Amino acid sequence: MQILKNNVLSTNALFALMFVTMTAALFLVFVYVPTEASMGIVQRIFYFHVPLAWVAFIAFGIVFIGSILYLRSSNRKWDRLAHSSAEIGMVFTSLVLITGPIWAKPVWGVWWTWDARLTTTLLLWFIYHGYLLVGSFASDESQGARYSAVVGIIGFVDVPIVALSIVLWGTQHPEPVMSEPGGLTGAMLLTLMVSLAAFTLLFAYLLIHRVSLALAADELKRLRQFADERDYDG
């Protein structure tokens, strides 16, 4: 809560920057970028599908770092950061898993195939769903946070597997487009880069708000305990 109150100006500036970048990304996707020759108009899903996956990877990277820092320090703020990041990562991974099949249906002729990239991404979704749930099974909050941190560290192993699945196994999923010769160039590359920037800013904005919410919930809990001890409440 206090973080949010103290940083209203910076979060407003971040929102303004995100809004401008996102508007530019939408303009580039729907007006500027040429239609891809083989897949046609549906290929434009790519300009948001890839940034959604990118943001999910950043989110789970933060879960990994936050989990390590929590286990080292037992400072609750790292658990709050990791948990908030995991929740946002789940929103974005869910959208990756929804927009992927919508793109696949007209291109591959099927909504889903048990291809390595798709399967490891689905596994990623289950791992972080488990991460969000595991804390509630523990007998006390700090034990739950420790369980979650362990899942957050081990679960991150799947992130490089998802990223490298195209290289490790022959998959139907398109190859990495920026690292390959003959990959994206010109207008398409510019559009992807602006979309990546827009979604990264959106993630930063959401993360600040989600962490503030977690800290506010902690403050409310602390105040309730304080009130109970002094018989202020009711």
**97-105, 115-123, 161-169, 183-191 -> range binding another protein (CB under 8 A):** 97-105
Shortest separation between residue 168's beta carbon and another protein, angstroms: 26
- Does 80 participate in binding another protein (rule CB under 8 A)? no
- Does 83 participate in binding another protein (rule CB under 8 A)? no
- Does 44 participate in binding another protein (rule CB under 8 A)? yes
- Does 128 participate in binding another protein (rule CB under 8 A)? no
Please tell me the distance from the alpha carbon of residue 14 to that of residue 77, in angstroms, as a whole number.
22
Cα angle 149-85-116, degrees, rounded to a multiple of 5? 85
Residue in 7, 11, 94, 113 binding another protein, rule: CB under 8 A: 94
Q: Which helix (H) or strand (E) holds 183?
A: none
Cα angle 36-92-33, degrees, rounded to a multiple of 5? 20
Handedness of CA 103, 108, 111, 116 (dihedral sign): negative
Shortest separation between residue 212's beta carbon and another protein, angstroms: 7
- Does 216 participate in binding another protein (rule CB under 8 A)? yes
In 10 A of CB 233, how many CB atoms?
11
Quick one: how far is CA 96 from the chain centroid? 10
Q: Which two tokens stand for residue 152?
A: 């957050």
Residues at the contact surface with another protein, assessed by CB under 8 A: 1, 4, 35-42, 44-45, 48-49, 52, 88, 91, 94-95, 98-99, 102-103, 105-107, 202, 206, 209-210, 212-213, 216-217, 219-220, 223-224, 226-227, 230, 232-233
